[in-house]
A and B are shown apart, each in its own frame.
Chain A
Amino acid sequence: MLPQEVVDFFSTYQDLLWLVTVAIDLAITLLLYRLFGKMGLYSIVILNIMLSNLQGPKITIIFGMETSLGLILYSGIYFATDLLSENYGRREANRAVQLGFATSIIMVIMVSISLLFLPSNLPETKDFAERVHYAIQNLFDFTPLFVFGSLFVYLVSQSFDVWIFHYIKEKTKGKHLWLRNNVSTIASQSVDTILYALIVWTPIVGLEKAIHLSLAKYLFKVIIALLDTPFIYWARSWNVVGKDWHDAGDSYHHQHPNSDSKQKPESEN
């Protein structure tokens, strides 16, 4: 899809590409928030958890260290939940975490079922269909340990993130956004990394190698956590009340059938 020059350029500058990807992911979160308000942030949580499931096994080398591409998208979830926490409170952030958890489970179920379908055996599509089948199989070659491990770790660390964010917010009386944004993400990312290393990696590669892998991973996560700081200040100041309208089912029902629904729903002012 991209022009050849772009492909060539970034195959030489992989470190730059990593930073560009982090920037794009951040920009997308901000854009969806701007366009859709709170609902945009909910979508980001779902989107990023699904894409990080998909990119998880893609290992690449950045700044001389091995890292998974899933990490960037997974880290993006913390920015979205922190922004939700800051602007809309704990309840909304927790709901987003749970919705992300549910969609992650659904993705595993749907993909596992889809692999039961045999690829088409018609002569004209057989070859392509088989390649696609094995491609999906390779990407979603989950073991139960991996699936339950990562789901569990996600739920614990993201819930912890929301909790500690609000704990710090109360202690500091709402001042110093940078402190709660960074401390909550860095602390919960370490919970995430440690649990993941113990549950998923140690049984496979042994404790020592698991620690080694985790340190590299954690370093990248901390960089991403720090990078988003100016943007949470910026996004906090946006006035998106026009996007945060909410059409209650009830009021809509009452309108019908005597009036049409042209009336704009109430938005908060």
Chain B
Amino acid sequence: MLPSSVIEFFTAHQDWLWILTITIDLAITLILYWWFGKIGLYGVVVLNIMLSNLQGPKLTVVFGMPTSLGVVLYSGIYFATDLLSERYGKLEANRAVLLGFATSLVLVMIMTVSILFIPSPQAMVIHNAITLLFGFTPRFVFGSLFAYLISQSFDVWIFHYLKEKTEGRHLWFRNNASTLLSQALDTVLYSLVVWWGIVALDRAIQLGIAKYIFKAIIALIDTPFIYWARTWEVEKRDWYDSRKHYSKQF
């Protein structure tokens, strides 16, 4: 899809590409929020969890450290739920987390069933690609879903805990503290469930720390943007048609 000059440039500058990817993911969240209001943020949660499942196994080296591309998209979820928390409150943020959990389960289910279909000869390459990317082990599925649900729910809880304690001041504090703490929880839980017994403990810690550094960078970068997005007037986008209202017409 992309012109080859672009491809060559970013092949040589992988670190820039990583920063660009974060920027684009952040920009997309803001654009969807701007256009669709609250529902746009729900969309971002669903979108990012699905794309991070897809990109999870894609390993690359950025700033000299190995990392999975799924990390960028997964971290984007925290920005979306923090913005939902700030603007619309705890209940909405929790619903978005649960909806992301449900869609992640659905993704696993649909992909697992789809692998059972025997490809026609010309689609063999595609079949093998899907099997490689979505041939999840039960342990991996359980570990990542479990880590997601616990850490995101914790994120919403601690965000509001801090908001109450600080009487609604210092948005930067609750935004960063909630994400940094819950990402730490996420990394520890994931490492324990998925890596325990497979890789040695010191290796697991090493991988976990590398992953956490990237997550922390992403968490800090989004701070000015949550201040900006908080001030937007999106009330016009947040209309909703209730069933009662609508069915009166007939």
Which A residues fall within an 8 A CB radius of B? 1-2, 6-7, 10-11, 14, 17-18, 20-21, 24-25, 28, 32, 35-36, 38-40, 42-43, 46-47, 50-51, 54-55, 57-61, 66, 69, 73, 87-89, 91-92, 95, 98-99, 102-103, 106-114, 116-122, 125, 128-129, 131-136, 138-139, 142-144, 147, 169, 173-174, 240-241, 244-250, 252-253, 255-257, 260-261, 264-265, 268-269
With A107-B47, A129-B59 known as contacts, the answer to whether A268 contacts B244 (CB < 8 A) is yes
Residue numbers in A under 8 Å from B241 (CB-CB) = 88-89, 91-92
With A61-B120, A103-B47 known as contacts, the answer to whether A43 contacts B103 (CB < 8 A) is yes
Residue numbers in B under 8 Å from A144 (CB-CB) = 1
Residue numbers in B under 8 Å from A116 (CB-CB) = 2, 6-7, 10-11, 17
Q: Return 29 A-B CB contacts under 8 Å, by A number.
A: A1-B112, A10-B116, A14-B117, A21-B113, A21-B114, A38-B240, A39-B39, A39-B42, A42-B42, A47-B46, A47-B50, A50-B50, A55-B114, A58-B114, A59-B126, A61-B118, A92-B240, A102-B43, A110-B73, A114-B55, A116-B10, A120-B59, A135-B133, A138-B125, A241-B242, A250-B235, A257-B167, A257-B169, A264-B91
B177 within 8 A of A: no
Q: Mark B89-124, 1 if CB is under 8 A from A, else 0.
A: 111100100110011001111111110111110110
Closest to B76 in A: A110
With A88-B243, A132-B59 known as contacts, the answer to whether A1 contacts B138 (CB < 8 A) is yes
Contact between chains at B47 and A46 (CB < 8 Å): yes
Residue numbers in A under 8 Å from B40 (CB-CB) = 99
Contact between chains at A117 and B114 (CB < 8 Å): no
Residue numbers in B under 8 Å from A264 (CB-CB) = 91
B213 within 8 A of A: no
**Shortest distance between the CB of B193 and any CB in chain A (Å):** 16
Q: Mark B64-96, 1 if CB is under 8 A from A, else 0.
A: 001001000100000000000001111110010
Residue numbers in A under 8 Å from B43 (CB-CB) = 42, 46, 99, 102-103
Residue numbers in A under 8 Å from B47 (CB-CB) = 46, 50, 103, 106-107
Residue numbers in B under 8 Å from A108 (CB-CB) = 1
Contact between chains at A114 and B123 (CB < 8 Å): no
Contact between chains at A265 and B89 (CB < 8 Å): yes
Instruction: Contacts A42-B39, A249-B238 known; list 19 others, CB within 8 Å.
Output: A24-B110, A39-B99, A46-B43, A47-B46, A87-B247, A99-B39, A103-B46, A106-B32, A114-B21, A114-B69, A120-B60, A122-B61, A128-B59, A133-B58, A138-B126, A144-B1, A169-B250, A174-B250, A261-B160
A132 vs B134: C-alpha distance in the bound complex, in angstroms? 10
Contact between chains at B24 and A252 (CB < 8 Å): no
A91 vs B238: C-alpha distance in the bound complex, in angstroms? 12
B211 within 8 A of A: no
Residue numbers in B under 8 Å from A147 (CB-CB) = 1
Interface SS of A by simple majority: helix
Residue numbers in A under 8 Å from B141 (CB-CB) = 1
With A50-B50, A122-B66, A249-B235 known as contacts, the answer to whether A109 contacts B24 (CB < 8 A) is yes
A99 vs B239: C-alpha distance in the bound complex, in angstroms? 15
**Shortest distance between the CB of A226 and any CB in chain B (Å):** 22
B136 within 8 A of A: yes
A42 vs B99: C-alpha distance in the bound complex, in angstroms? 10
With A24-B109, A131-B132 known as contacts, the answer to whether A252 contacts B10 (CB < 8 A) is no
Contact between chains at A7 and B116 (CB < 8 Å): yes
A81 vs B227: C-alpha distance in the bound complex, in angstroms? 34
Contact between chains at B59 and A119 (CB < 8 Å): yes
Residue numbers in A under 8 Å from B167 (CB-CB) = 257
B222 within 8 A of A: no
Residue numbers in A under 8 Å from B55 (CB-CB) = 114, 136
